[in-house]
Amino acid sequence: MAQKNNPWETDLPPETPDAGGEAVRRNIKPEPIRIAKLSDIKNDFKFPIKLILGILLLLWLVSGFYQIQPSDQGVVMRFGKYVYTTDAGLHYHLPYPVEKVIKVNVTKERSINLGVTETSNVPAQYYNNNQSSVALNSFTESHMLTGDENIVDINLTVVWRIKDAKDYLFNVRSPDVTVRVAAQSVLREIVGQSEMQPIITGDRGLVEEQTKTELQKVLDDFGAGVVIVRVKLQKADPPKQVVDAFNEVQRAKADMERFKNEAEAYRNEVIPKAKGEAVKRLQEAEAYKEAVVNKARGDAERFSSIYNAYKQGKTVTSKRMYLEALEDILSKSETVVIDPSAKGANVLPVLPVTK
């Protein structure tokens, strides 16, 4: 039995006569119908799919480029694990989700205020429902005990910025809260070791410098990646409940200082004057002593010289001494002595005009 290779062929032999010229039609073979195969369809779509995939791959690779600004640091993480840190400039990392970059601003200055209730950061509903608790938190944060067992109301502003982005992101969970708690702890320690008077009326710069230094040490020990820029003591006053009594004490201390200064001024004026008067009198006494001693020595030397002259010529010396004595006595007397030999002569009385 012959196998049929063509479905359009019949079993009748081509020479078999048939009515209507069917023999001629049996010898004509029609064209076979071509059925499309699935492999041909796949080949037609293969090139566009490859093109699309190539474009997507290129875009995915290009997405790994990133720009870091001069004020930022880029922290590269691979599958959630830290890899390295990049500085300003154009860089490349394996695209997401293999690696990703966290940009951290390291030049921006951040600040926290201790002892001040910042209601802008508190939800309105929470603040309205918890005004008493917010006020209590502000009170307990600003009031500190000093070393001389007094209470002082302090407001402090701490300005800080990020020094190392890696430490800032991974070493502490909440850097802002850490800085706040550490600043409050350091400030309480410094105030607790100081007296109230120097904190309120003394050099506040010393408290600020000590707070900045100690706070930086604590944050470095934590590895927070934070640097303290400056610390400013906004207010340091006694509590409102005792401010009147404290002001009265301050006025009394001011009066005490004033009286003390006045007494010191009077003392500084009187003591040098008394010392000068004492030196003056001492010098006068020394001068009188020198004058008396020198006069006595001169008299003694004069007497010795007269005595020596008297021994050499007693008559002449006696007459000279007599005449000098008369001259000294008569110069001091108002009595007029007239020579007896001139008794008969014309003597003209003279009226003394000096009296």
- Rounded Cα gap, residues 314 and 301, in angstroms: 19
DSSP code string of 123-184:
-HHHHHH-HHHHHHHHHHHHEEE-TTS-EEEEEEEEEEEES-HHHHHHT-S-HHHHHHHHHH
Q: Report the sign of the C-alpha dihedral through residues 272, 274, 276, 282, in that order.
A: negative
**What is the chain's alpha carbon radius of gyration, rounded to the nearest angstrom?**
62
Whole-number pLDDT of residue 166: 85
Kind and range of the H or E run holding 316: helix 314-331
267 phi and psi angles, rounded to 5 deg: -60, -45
Pick from 267, 162, 237, 146: nearest CA to 196: 146
Per-residue pLDDT of the chain (355 residues; tens, 9 = 90+): 444 455 545 454 554 445 445 544 555 555 555 554 555 555 555 667 877 888 888 887 777 787 888 888 888 888 878 888 888 878 777 788 887 888 888 888 888 888 765 434 444 444 444 444 444 444 467 788 887 777 888 888 899 998 888 888 888 888 888 899 999 889 888 888 888 777 777 677 888 888 888 999 999 888 888 899 998 888 877 777 776 777 787 788 888 989 999 999 999 999 998 999 999 999 999 999 999 999 999 989 888 887 887 778 778 778 888 888 888 887 877 766 666 666 555 666 666 666 5
The rounded Cα 34 to chain-centroid distance in angstroms is 92
Residue 309: what pLDDT? Answer: 78
Cα angle for residues 189, 192, 194 (degrees, 5° grid):
115
Give the C-alpha distances (Å, rounded to integers) separating 254 from 118, 133, 227, 246. 36, 39, 41, 12
Q: Could you tell me which residues are beta bridge partners of residue 81? A: 78
